[in-house]
Structure 1
């Protein structure tokens, strides 16, 4: 696979990761489609292994969906900006503290936005807990799964 095609696959995966944070965009499906594209072009055992692992992780994410609260932000009064900030800091956290950093990054980003908005630690933390209970957990699970796929793809591409 040439470098231009790898860059395009990477951009599509990143689009899918960001798509998790935007309501109505099927982020996990976009990430999976990009990995399929790459695996069909690469055809190595490692590429197929990453595809199989990615399929399993993303299917697990979809299987957990009914067990988690709804992602609807409007009825609960959650601002989209709050989840977007949490998602972006979760992505940064994933790369700063590999794999496990997505959780403190996501929750920390939500807390920072709510702390600034509400003006106190107590109110900011209470609001963060409310956001996580109402819409944060499903976004965090999908984002984590998509980032795991991104990490596996990056590892296979750079070191495989």
Structure 2
């Protein structure tokens, strides 16, 4: 692959990593897609082994984020329906109030849903904090998987 191609793949990976943190773009899908394009264009056993390892790391991270965040939410007794409403509100908030709307609307929606469900402001706030912690766990695990896959790609660049 040409140097320009490798730079473009690196930029796509960087956009994917930002997408993980911002939670608007399918971050790890972009990272893995970029590594796939690189492996296909580069060819050879080393490139395909790098892709396979990157894919494995991302699949493990995606599965782990659901398991860890789900366990955290079950401990806090926050139902998935609350998170779904919070997620939808966050999407709306992203467009209503750029940059901070996603976080603000998600937090407020979870707080309102849990207050309506529990009728206790303190319990609703604890559930909201647990939902925010689960979101942080999700982002952290996804980012770890994306960064490890990026590291594998960098090793592949050096090897090939």
The answer to whether TM tops 0.5 is yes
**Unmatched tracts of structure 1, length 5 or more:** 78-128
Q: Which has the higher relative contact order, 1 or 2, with Cα contacts under 8 A spaced 6 or more apart?
A: 2
- Name 1:111's counterpart in structure 2: none
Q: TM-score, normalised by structure 2?
A: 0.60
Compared with structure 1, are the counterparts of its residues 75 and 3 closer, same or farther at alpha carbon in structure 2 (3 Å cutoff)? closer
What secondary structure, in the 3-state scheme, does the structure 1 residue paired with 2:21 have? coil
CA distance in 2 between partners of 1:23 and 1:48 (Å): 28
- Name 2:38's counterpart in structure 1: 38
Q: TM-score, normalised by structure 1?
A: 0.60
Residue 65 in structure 1 maps to residue 62 in structure 2: no
**Unmatched tracts of structure 2, length 5 or more:** 71-82, 88-102, 109-128
Post-superposition offset of 1:131: 8.2
CA distance in 2 between partners of 1:65 and 1:152 (Å): 20
> Is the contact made by 1:76 and 1:134 (CA closer than 8 Å) also made in structure 2?
no
Root mean square deviation, CA, Å: 2.3
- Name 1:29's counterpart in structure 2: 29
Post-superposition offset of 1:22: 1.4
- Name 1:124's counterpart in structure 2: none
Between Structure 1 and Structure 2, the one with more helix by share is 2
CA distance in 2 between partners of 1:46 and 1:159 (Å): 7
CA distance in 1 between partners of 2:132 and 2:151 (Å): 24
Tell me which structure has the larger Cα radius of gyration: 2
